[in-house]
Amino acid sequence: MGYVGNRGVHLDYIHLLGNQAVPGTSANLQPRRPYPDFNQLLYDTFDGISRYNALTVKLTHRYSRNFQSLVSYTYSKVLDWNGGDTDFQNLVQNDNNPRADYGVADLNLKQRLVISGIWLLPLGRGQTYLNNGRVANVLLGGWEVSGIIQLQDGFPFTVLSNVDYSNTGSTSPRPDRVCNGAGSQTVAAWFNTSCFSTTALEQASQSGSPRFGNSGKNILTGPGLHEWDLSLIKKNQLTEKLRLELRFEFFNIFNTANFSTPGNWTINTSTAGVITSAATPRDIQFGIKLDF
């Protein structure tokens, strides 16, 4: 059992929507930009931060009586605001104040459990049972069973508004959050869209005081992963230098539907909160390997 923690500073932050306008009522954004002589800018700064804290537990059963296993569990949390130059960077709502988006990182997985094991069946030559007959050894000896079980929470996501009520040109506008929003977590409605409202934002805009929504970054979590993989391996020693191996491998053997995060995170749209994709279904493969 152990604790792992680290902190990152001066991480590369890509301003994908740099020089964003401040909230205002005029249709012309240019006078409201920090640098009005320029339009939208793309540039880097090195002021991103990240924090990681985790409880780790590992249980190992070393090889004995033809069996070995490993159990690993992690309970963790990653916080950042655009902490590093990655292939995908969650857009901030207000590029002039990116620290307001300090919160759960895109890659955060709260809990992850992995159980793996290998068992050489005690059958055939040199084993406890059926170790005298040649036919029994050929048919039943040399079998090895191994498996991996993976259980983990889902990745976080950010709820968006369908209108930029701040009138800043934001491509990641947020609504106001009025309740938790976790919802029923079904394929048709993963989160409760009624917990996110743009009514007050619209009123503020109409009254001449546009503002950003208060809903934060990555406040909801998508579906988790439940996968069981199994393999059966039959090793046949044909001669002193020749060995035949038969492999039967089953990935996601129970054909569990591991859904992706909702395809649309934007409220006030017909498909908000609807899950439209899933990970790979059950996959079975067979192989023959000859060692010489």
List, for residues 260-281, the tens digit of each pLDDT value.
999 899 999 999 999 999 998 9
The 3 state secondary structure assigned to 120-132 is ECCECCCCCECCC
- For residue 265, the one-letter residue type is W
- Residue 60: predicted pLDDT: 95
Residues for the chain: how many in total? 292
Domain total in the chain: 1
- Residue 136: predicted pLDDT: 62
- Residue 85: predicted pLDDT: 62
- The Cα–Cα gap between 61 and 68 comes to 5
- CA 132, 241, 147, 252 dihedral sign is negative
Strands 220-221 and 156-157: antiparallel
CA 146, 150, 156: angle at the middle one, nearest 5? 165
- The Cα–Cα gap between 231 and 16 comes to 46
Q: The whole model's pTM is what? A: 0.85
- Residue 292: predicted pLDDT: 85
- Residue 65: predicted pLDDT: 79
- The Cα–Cα gap between 230 and 247 comes to 11
Quick check: 254 and 282 in contact, CB under 8 A? Answer: yes
- For residue 14, the one-letter residue type is I
- Residue 138: predicted pLDDT: 65
- Write the CA distances from 207 to 158, 178, 198, integer angstroms: 27, 21, 14
- Residue 156: predicted pLDDT: 94
Cβ-count burial 234-253 (b if 16+ within 10 Å, e if not): bbeeeeeeeeeeeeebbbbb
- Residue 186: predicted pLDDT: 93
User: What torsion, rounded to 10 degrees, do the Cα atoms 27, 32, 35, 39 define?
Assistant: -20
Report the SS3 class of residue 252: coil
> In the chain, which stretches have pLDDT less than 50?
none
Q: List the domain range (segments joined by +) for residue 209.
A: 2-291
